[in-house]
Structure 1
Amino acid sequence: MQSLLNPSLAEARQDVGTRPMQGRKIVDWLINETRGERFVDNIFVEMCERLAAAGVPVARATLHFRIHHPQWIGARILWRKGLSEAELQTYEYGIEDTEQYLNSPLHEFNNGAAEVRRHLDDPAADGPQYPLYDELRAGGLTDYFIWPLEHTLGKRHAVTFASDRPGGFSDEDMAVFADLLPALALVSEIRLKNRFARTLLETYVGPHASEQILAGATTRGSGVTVGAAILICDLRDFTKLSDLWPRDDVIELLNGYFDAMCEPIERHGGEILKFMGDGLLAIFPLSDPMACNNLLSAISEAQAALARLNEENVKKGHEPLGYGIGVHVGDVMYGNIGSSKRLDFTVIGPAVNIASRLENLTKVIKRPILLSRAFVEMARCQGELENLGSHPVRGLDEPIDVFAFSSNSASADSAAGA
């Protein structure tokens, strides 16, 4: 259903003669003076303040974007008169099925309406009576409308404006908005795509690597040598589980396992560089003096989260998940490796190989977490660990001293499934 907009967007755009000079100045500002501002919410706030200063009675405004994010389907930027900052709210997938969204003017707009307008000071006016209208009316607002914000390739977002002036927006006000929208669409699309690129990189390579890539580290072989505490984790018997369980159950299991492992790692300053099937590689850069201790804290919290996950799996009739973790410390080459057209931003070096060998050794020693002497000495935690002696590892001429948590009793190791 489409509400009538008077004047319509097209009519407003034709009404060039009545547009005040201040409106054109705001358009010029949007196009020529916002290049140095990265964030669209800051631009939106200043635009609304400039509109109000020019005599356009804007008291509330929102931008609604559909975004590409693993957690959120969309975001809203909300500005209110008198506030120097916008409020940012994100919406999770599934919001489109809720009563709140289905009974809203935004749903009407997204369902095909070219534009939606409501004179709030006329509660008897024809059209849907959405709860949002009552909320806006109670806040002293008199007029509200939604217009499309058209981006390239048919991408359609929404912008709303509301007035608190008796009678609402005039035809001249609507002409100012119509003049403004193409510039706002251009400015917002650039910022949204910049944010989209950053989000994609953060999602697939992590926040620190994404910063370096965006800063220009895209040449094959480019990289730096950094000191890092290295953690490699692997799920036990995953091949068997994936053969026996339904596909959706396997995906749910993996997601739960990675949540249990990854959230503590990221919370304590670690960077997850790679998911390798049912395993992961993470580093804690030694530029942070607490890196080794942070890694140990992350492991402790991950163990607790995995124990809770196993309790749920057992309740569902599944076997508890086993895992192996190898930890080492040393210099790694951190940068771009791959073919001429397909690169991977990762870490390589002997220190990574040793962490990997320790993870494999957990299967032999039957302890879920093994740490190298080099790491233990740097973390200064020998008293809290059990020395398991020297063990040969593939690729090294000399055996390596291996430690495990002394709290890992035989029963704990069995529950971990190492």
Structure 2
Amino acid sequence: MLKAFARDETHPVIRWLMTDARRLTDPSEFLGSFALELRAAGVDVSRITTGVPILHPQIFSFSGLWQLGKGTSERLYRTDPGVAAVLSNSPIGIAYQGGGPVRCDLTAPPQEGEFAVLADLRREGLADYVVYSVPFADGSHKALSLATARRSGFDADELALFAAMIPAVAFNLEVQALRRTARTLLDTYVGAQSGGRVLEGQIRRGGGETIWAVIWLCDLRGFTNLSETLPRDALIDLLNCYFGPMCDAVAAEGGEILKFIGDAMLAIFPIEAEAAATCRAALTAAERAQVAVAEENRRREGLGQPRIEYGLALHIGDVLYGNIGSDTRLDFTVIGPAVNLTARIESMCRQLGRQLLLSSDFVKAGAIAAESLGAFSLKGVGAEQQIFAPIRAG
């Protein structure tokens, strides 16, 4: 069957790539199914990889790996100066440049200066390895590699099929890459949970829902003075050293970072089950951030750099979670009286000489050990509000 269809678009593998495969948006699911289709068509393939450089602040590329008897896995390669050096001695690097195909006989004795990956492939018991460049519509090139353990290697009909199916493979990989890029950009600039909602189509202005959540608002102290006195790069570095621990702490405890507002950060911890557990998670995140920033300040003091001073407030309440803005520019965020109250409580950090303040609702919902700092009239809030500070164990 393989010989009859090897150079024909009616080949079952190419037909699958052009039809059913298009519905498989998950890269791992696609790769596993692709391998099964090849083997069902009589192709004795033992290993397949896809390599796709992507737009990501930390990741250079992702690679899908399928191995016979082991299934699929995904490998992410971080953006690093060493990546270029690795690719310079790799058939994948050749494919990324639009070259190839590159075919390697793994049954031949190792040669000086050969591709570094070949030693690993020999240890896996593979005999033949071929890498193809996969062209995308934007002019870039990705990579597809196939290997077999059959000692005679791939035959002429299998190689003809591989060459014929590259355009169909390219279509599927490009759709997956575009979706991954869209999700990456949404996660990076909107947040993972909000980004997921946007990707699912929740983009209508005014669309949203009322949710119960812990609200986190932190604000850098003395930013105006810092922005007037620090060089640009030093100011950006300070902001990164401040936002980094905040973001890491929120993410580690299941929170969602919604936005940066100048030198402030708004985040939420949606309550899906037990409010007390969510409150404790948010408080743990706040204390984790305090420890990290304190450590960062010790480092900065040793370098003669300005300290990071901030205020942080935690509150719990109903918020409207959805899209606001114009017809052409929307912001997926939370709004409502609870958000406003959180901001007012945070503004009291300087007056009360505290880094972390809690609302009475937060203390009650989380059964938090806290001391009252008094009742205060807050701008835009009707009744006086009790404000608390956490009591640390020990």
Match of 1:86, SS state, is strand
Paired position in structure 2 for 1:117: 103
Following the alignment from structure 2 to structure 1, what is the Cα–Cα distance between the partners of residues 53 and 9? 31
Paired position in structure 2 for 1:302: 289
Following the alignment from structure 2 to structure 1, what is the Cα–Cα distance between the partners of residues 50 and 366? 48
Paired position in structure 2 for 1:330: 317
Native 8 Å contact 1:23 1:180 kept in 2: no
Following the alignment from structure 1 to structure 2, what is the Cα–Cα distance between the partners of residues 144 and 248? 47
TM-score when normalising by structure 2: 0.92
| Mapped pair 1:359 → 2:346 | yes
1:321-366 Cα deviation digits (max 9, x unpaired): 1110122221111111111210101111111111001111111111
Match of 1:152, SS state, is coil
Paired position in structure 1 for 2:76: 90
Residues 408 and 279 from structure 1, CA distance in 2 versus in 1: closer, same or farther, beyond 3 angstroms? farther
**From 57, 65, 88, the counterpart of 1:70:** 57
Native 8 Å contact 1:23 1:54 kept in 2: no
In the TM superposition, what is the alpha-carbon distance from 1:299 to its structure 2 partner? 0.9
Residues 339 and 199 from structure 1, CA distance in 2 versus in 1: closer, same or farther, beyond 3 angstroms? same
Paired position in structure 1 for 2:250: 265
Residues 406 and 178 from structure 1, CA distance in 2 versus in 1: closer, same or farther, beyond 3 angstroms? same
Paired position in structure 1 for 2:174: 189
TM-score when normalising by structure 1: 0.87
Q: What percentage of residue pairs aligned between the two structures are identical?
A: 37
In the TM superposition, what is the alpha-carbon distance from 1:134 to its structure 2 partner? 2.3
Residues 288 and 241 from structure 1, CA distance in 2 versus in 1: closer, same or farther, beyond 3 angstroms? farther
| Mapped pair 1:60 → 2:51 | no
**From 135, 140, 144, the counterpart of 2:125:** 140
Following the alignment from structure 2 to structure 1, what is the Cα–Cα distance between the partners of residues 118 and 62? 20
In the TM superposition, what is the alpha-carbon distance from 1:74 to its structure 2 partner? 0.5
| Mapped pair 1:216 → 2:240 | no
How big is the alpha-carbon RMSD for the aligned residues of Structure 1 and Structure 2? Answer: 2.4
In the TM superposition, what is the alpha-carbon distance from 1:128 to its structure 2 partner? 4.8
1:367-408 Cα deviation digits (max 9, x unpaired): 111111121111112xx2111111121112332111112449
Native 8 Å contact 2:95 2:134 kept in 1: no
In the TM superposition, what is the alpha-carbon distance from 1:23 to its structure 2 partner? 8.0
Native 8 Å contact 1:16 1:175 kept in 2: no
Match of 1:324, SS state, is strand
Following the alignment from structure 1 to structure 2, what is the Cα–Cα distance between the partners of residues 360 and 228? 20
Paired position in structure 1 for 2:272: 287
Following the alignment from structure 2 to structure 1, what is the Cα–Cα distance between the partners of residues 98 and 330? 42
After superposing the two structures, state which structure 1 stretch, 131-140 or 388-397, moved more.
131-140
In the TM superposition, what is the alpha-carbon distance from 1:275 to its structure 2 partner? 0.8
Following the alignment from structure 1 to structure 2, what is the Cα–Cα distance between the partners of residues 58 and 81? 8
Match of 1:73, SS state, is strand
1:130-182 Cα deviation digits (max 9, x unpaired): 22122222332222221111121212101111222223222111111112211
Match of 2:46, SS state, is strand
